[in-house]
Amino acid sequence: MDLLNTLVEKGLRRELPTRDEALAVLASSDDELLDVVAAAGKVRRKWFGRRVKLNYLVNLKSGLCPEDCSYCSQRLGSKAEILKYTWLKPDEASEAAAAGVAGGAKRVCLVASGRGPTDRDVDRVSQTIEAIKEQNEGVEVCACLGLLSEGQAERLRAAGADAYNHNLNTSEATYGDITTTHTYADRVETVQQAQQAGLSACSGLIAGMGESDEDLVDVVFALRELDPDSVPVNFLIPFEGTPLAKEWHLTPQRCLRILAMARFVCPDVEVRLAGGREVHLRSMQPLALHLVNSIFLGDYLTSEGQAGKADLEMIADAGFEVEGAGTTTLPEHRVHEEGGGCGSVCSAEPSAAAGADAEQSAARTDLVAVRRRGAGTDLAPNA
């Protein structure tokens, strides 16, 4: 396939594909799927070898958010029966983080529900970062606290944060359909504030919200322009009790095409397989390792992932290796002098080009398990 040869050559040269080429990846057929995965896999191996970086989520504050992001189980008016709790204390958060690090994670992602932190919240999170860094030598810490106000990114950086996550989630054109309480521009601004403060930016998307192929290409191209160091790709978990509960559009094949497109557009960036992988990729998860170089270990913010041990076995069985703490994730040319070198989740009518994938697929509500263990509970975490 000429298209795939072109995309591989561009990926190896870190050259941006055209929008039409990115759209063609999404429109490719199931018969072409393994060729698409193999082609994007060449680009992945060029920049990241066979390494898989593990990241571990700690939900510092769960539920009761005043924002209305329709994909989110923690949103205003959510009827999802998730864990709800206020800020974990620094030692509680550090204990949860230590479980992830012991499981092989090199980055801990500290997430809190809400529009954005108050200055007091930044103080709290700063103490938590300090506690985690003190108890887990060499661990990277990413904060995901929502929209930032002036000076907050600098304060988090000074407290030892390595990275900040804030996802664009979907295209600018459809952003207003999924959230009304803040704008796409607000999100872009927060990512830029983090970058300006010397934090490694992490910003990604959520697929499966009923968006078109054009929307997916728009958001991935917008991310490439924003130039984060890591791009988490989430697949919508349609939680009962949220407005998107009936949006079951994704198939494993569709997810693989989306990940391949993200890899071709962001060849040398940490592309992370994020929330929803177990629900939508299911037994095809190992193929995704040929496309992404990073995953979350264990559970998500409000839902349970597969057992941490199963994640590690999957990586080994597929012929990949867990990235060690002493290894720099990004290729040398991307490692900035300050702040760089290193996620996320705070996650229209389908287009004709999306073909069979765009139809409603079988709802797999049996695979959506609300998190009942780890941070905010008395039960041991999954790591």
Is 266 annotated in the active site?
Answer: no
The verdict on whether 346 is a catalytic residue reads: no
d(CA 211, CA 365): 21
Contact 115, 179 (CB under 8 A): no
**Residue 307 falls in which region: left (phi positive, over 0), alpha (psi -120 to 50) or beta:** beta
- Residue 176's alpha-carbon distances to 76, 148, 240, in angstroms, are 16, 20, 22
3-state SS class at 134: helix
Residue among 181 and 377 whose Cβ is closer to ligand SF4: 181
Cβ at position 203, least distance to ligand SF4 in Å:
13
Exactly one of 272, 277, 334, 371 is catalytic; name it. Answer: 272
Angle, CA of 100, 315 and 257, to the nearest 5°: 110
Dihedral sign from CA coordinates of 292, 296, 301, 305: positive
Alpha-carbon gap, residue 311 to 229, rounded angstroms? 23
Does residue 346 belong to the site contacting ligand SF4 (CB under 6 A)?
yes
Instruction: Indicate which residue of 44, 75, 124, 142 is catalytic.
Output: 142
Nearest approach, Cβ of 367 to ligand SF4 (angstroms)? 21
Cβ atoms of 257 and 298 within 8 Å: the answer is no
Least separation in angstroms between residue 209's CB and ligand SF4 is 12
Closer of 113 and 382 to ligand SF4 (Cβ): 113
Exactly one of 75, 107, 144, 202 is catalytic; which is it?
202
Nearer of residues 167 and 285 to ligand SF4, judged by Cβ: 167
Residue 113 interacting with ligand SF4 (CB under 6 A): yes
Judged by CB, which is closer to ligand SF4: 55, or 113? Answer: 113
Given the residues 44, 75, 107, 109, select the one marked as catalytic.
109
Q: Whose Cβ is closer to ligand SF4: residue 69's or residue 383's?
A: 69
Across-strand partners of 61?
112
Q: Enumerate residues 146-185 that contact ligand SF4 by CB under 6 A.
A: 146
What's the Cα-to-Cα distance from 128 to each of 144, 298, 377, rounded to whole Å?
13, 21, 18
What is the closest distance, in whole angstroms, from the C-beta atom of residue 232 to ligand SF4 in the complex? Answer: 13
**Which of 48-56, 69-77, 236-244, 268-276 is the region at the interface with ligand SF4 (rule: CB under 6 A)?**
69-77
CA distances from residue 163 to 143, 159, 231, 329 in whole angstroms, order as listed:
6, 11, 12, 13
Interaction between residue 74 and ligand SF4 (CB under 6 A): yes
Calculate ∠ Cα 28-30-31, nearest 5°: 95
Q: Which stretch binds ligand SF4 (CB under 6 A): 20-28, 67-75, 212-220, 313-321?
A: 67-75
Of the residues 10, 44, 47, 67, which one makes contact with ligand SF4 according to CB under 6 A: 67
69 is a catalytic site residue: yes
69 in contact with ligand SF4 (CB under 6 A): yes
User: Annotated catalytic, 272?
Assistant: yes
Which residue stretch of 28-36, 63-71, 230-238, 245-253 sits at the interface with ligand SF4 (rule: CB under 6 A)? 63-71
Tokens of 34: 């393994």
Helical ranges in the chain per DSSP H? 2-13, 19-27, 33-48, 90-102, 119-135, 152-158, 175-178, 184-196, 213-226, 252-265, 277-280, 285-288, 308-317
Tokens representing residue 153 in the block: 């990114």
The residues binding ligand SF4 (CB under 6 A) are 65, 67, 69, 72, 74-75, 113, 115, 146, 346
User: Active-site residue numbers?
Assistant: 65, 69, 72, 109, 142, 202, 272
